[in-house]
A and B are shown apart, each in its own frame.
Chain A
Amino acid sequence: MSGATLAAPARLPWLPLAIGVLVLLAWDSAVRFAHVPQVLLPSPGSVASSLWQAAPVLARHALATGGAACGAFLVAVAAGMVLAAVMMLSPLLNRLLYPNLLLFQLLPKVALGPLFVVWLGIGLPSLFAFAVFVSVFPVAVGTLAGLRAADPNQLRMCRAAGGNAWQAFWHVRLPTSMPYVFAGAKVAATMAFTGATVGEFISANAGLGYMVMQAQARSDTPLIFAALAVLCLLGAALYGAVGLAETAARRRWGTRR
Chain B
Amino acid sequence: MKAALTSALAVLAMLLGWEALVRGKAVSPDLLAPPSAVLEALLRHPDILLDQGLSTARETALGFLLACLFGAALGAALSSAALLRRVAMPWVLALQIVPKMALAPLFVVWLGVGAPCRLAFAVFIAFFPVLIGTTAGLAGTDSGALRLCRVLGAGWWQTVLRVRLPYAVPQLLAGMKTAATMALLGVVIGEFVTAQQGLGYVVMFAASLGETALVLAAITLLCGIGVALYGGVLLLELAFARWYGAPMPAGEFG
Footprint of B on A, CB under 8 Å?
1-3, 5-6, 8-9, 13, 15-16, 19-20, 39-40, 95-100, 102-103, 106-108, 110-115, 117-119, 190, 193-194, 197-198, 201-202, 208-209, 212-213, 216, 219, 221, 224-225, 228, 231-232, 235-236, 239-240
Contact = CB atoms under 8 A, between A and B. Distances in A.
A114 B93 contact: no
A28 B184 CA distance: 34
A34 B120 CA distance: 24
Contacts, number: 162
A32 B86 CA distance: 30
B215 A114 contact: yes
B106 interface: yes
A95 B86 contact: no
B31 interface: yes
B71 interface: no
A157 B213 CA distance: 53
A224 B10 contact: no
A216 B184 CA distance: 23
Nearest to A97: B10
A225 B209 CA distance: 32
A231 B100 CA distance: 10
A112 B90 contact: no
Interface string B95-122: 0011111111110111000000000000
A216 B87 contact: no
B89 interface: yes
B181 interface: yes
Contacts of A228: 102-103, 105-106
A103 B219 CA distance: 13
Interface residues of B, number: 62
Contact of B192 (A5, A16, A113): A113
A119 B31 contact: yes
Contacts of B102: 193-194, 197-198, 208-209, 212, 228, 231-232, 235
Contact of B89 (A5, A98, A99, A198): A5
Given A1-B132, A201-B192, A106 B230 contact: yes
B130 interface: no
Interface in B215-254: 215-216, 218-219, 222-223, 226-227, 230
Interface of B: 6-8, 10-11, 13-14, 31-32, 79, 85-91, 93-94, 97-106, 108-110, 132, 135-136, 139-140, 181, 184-185, 188-189, 192-193, 199-200, 203-204, 206-208, 210, 212, 215-216, 218-219, 222-223, 226-227, 230
A224 B106 contact: yes
B175 to A, nearest CB: 11
A3 B14 contact: no
Contact of A5 (B6, B85, B193, B222): B85
A106 B230 CA distance: 9
A20 B87 CA distance: 9
Contacts of B31: 118-119
Given A5-B89, A115-B203, A228-B102, 17 more contacts: A2-B139, A2-B140, A3-B136, A6-B132, A19-B91, A100-B14, A106-B223, A107-B223, A108-B185, A114-B208, A193-B102, A194-B100, A194-B101, A197-B101, A202-B204, A232-B102, A239-B97
A16 B223 contact: no
A135 to B, nearest CB: 11
A106 B103 CA distance: 24
Which of A6, A9, A106 has its CB near the most chain B CB atoms (within 10 A)?
A6
Contact of B139 (A5, A213, A221): A5
B97 A235 contact: yes
Given A201-B104, A231-B99, A231-B102, A236 B219 contact: no
